[in-house]
Chain A
């Protein structure tokens, strides 16, 4: 019952946020939060550009979303699969959840990808600055 409530609440929050991020461009309106890491260090963190990328994605501009935050755009399909399997398991009362999250090397690979992305997107030269937000 509590689980069910959690899922319903999650859906409502996701739909509400999607409407906000569809209607308002974070590049124009300043009531969106700015990443403290970017604000004080003037460097990009692995999540910088996600808000603008979500806005672009909701308008169907996948390429410009990838230009803002490639890692976020690449992780969306995986997260979609994960959450739809979770919802499906919840409905059917059977366990279809992804097992790869509990493989010993999965967190290491993800950690390496995130750190690599973090470093390379702050290198101000031509092949890397496309990754910057």
Chain B
């Protein structure tokens, strides 16, 4: 008798039906990488950051709908694309610097665009 639960109580870990996911959420929202994607978009020159922004949007949407697993997956994807953009940016910086060192000062003063 003691282990019987009241009828109206939802099982542990599940959202009660009809209740808004806002308020006291059981799980915190996963990192959506939005700021990092913006930084990659406007500084790293590589449009991979835009993919990150799209996934950030997906994180926020899925979380607002109560789909925590989906939000987690979108968060991982956003992180992946943001990091790809970031590291490609780093690689291009290192490569252009290496070119400069290898070629020496021959092309030092050339117009950049």
- Complex alpha-carbon distance, A34 and B100, angstroms: 13
* Interface residues in A, total, Cβ within 8 A: 36
Assuming the contacts A29-B108, A30-B107, A108-B57, asked whether A37 and B47 have C-beta atoms less than 8 A apart, the reply is yes
> Is B77 located at the chain interface by the 8 A CB criterion?
no
User: Smallest CB–CB gap between A75 and chain B, Å?
Assistant: 6
Seed contacts A35-B46, A37-B45, A111-B54; 15 additional CB < 8 Å A-B pairs = A26-B112, A27-B113, A30-B96, A31-B97, A33-B96, A46-B42, A47-B42, A79-B39, A102-B32, A103-B60, A107-B57, A111-B53, A114-B41, A114-B50, A114-B53
Task: Tell whether A69 pairs with B42 under 8 Å between CB atoms, given A30-B100, A114-B50.
Answer: yes
Number of A-B contacts (CB under 8 A): 107
Knowing A75-B38, A106-B34, A108-B57, say if A31 contacts B43 (CB, 8 Å). Answer: no
Q: How many Å from the CB of B36 to the closest CB on chain A?
A: 10
Interface bits A14-40 vs B (CB < 8 Å: 1, else 0): 000000000000111111111111100
> CA A46 – CA B44 in complex, angstroms?
10
A72 near B43: Cβ-Cβ < 8 Å? yes
- Given the complex of chains A and B, what is the CA–CA distance between A82 and B39 in angstroms? 12
Q: Are A30 and B60 in contact (CB under 8 A)?
A: no
Query: For A131, what are the chain B residues with a Cβ–Cβ distance below 8 Å?
Result: none
- What are 24 contact pairs spanning A and B, CB under 8 A? A29-B112, A30-B100, A30-B112, A31-B96, A33-B93, A33-B97, A34-B96, A34-B113, A35-B46, A37-B45, A38-B113, A46-B47, A47-B45, A47-B46, A50-B43, A75-B42, A79-B39, A102-B32, A104-B64, A107-B53, A107-B56, A110-B53, A114-B50, A118-B47
Dominant secondary structure of chain B at its interface with chain A: helix
Which A residues are CB-close (under 8 A) to B111? 27-28
Q: Ordered nearest first, which 6 A-B pairs have the shortest CB separation?
A: A107-B57, A35-B45, A31-B100, A33-B96, A107-B56, A33-B92
Query: How far does the Cβ of B32 sit from chain A's closest Cβ, in whole Å?
Result: 6
B9 close to A (CB within 8 Å): no
B45-68 with Cβ < 8 A to chain A: 45-47, 49-50, 53-54, 56-57, 60-61, 63-64
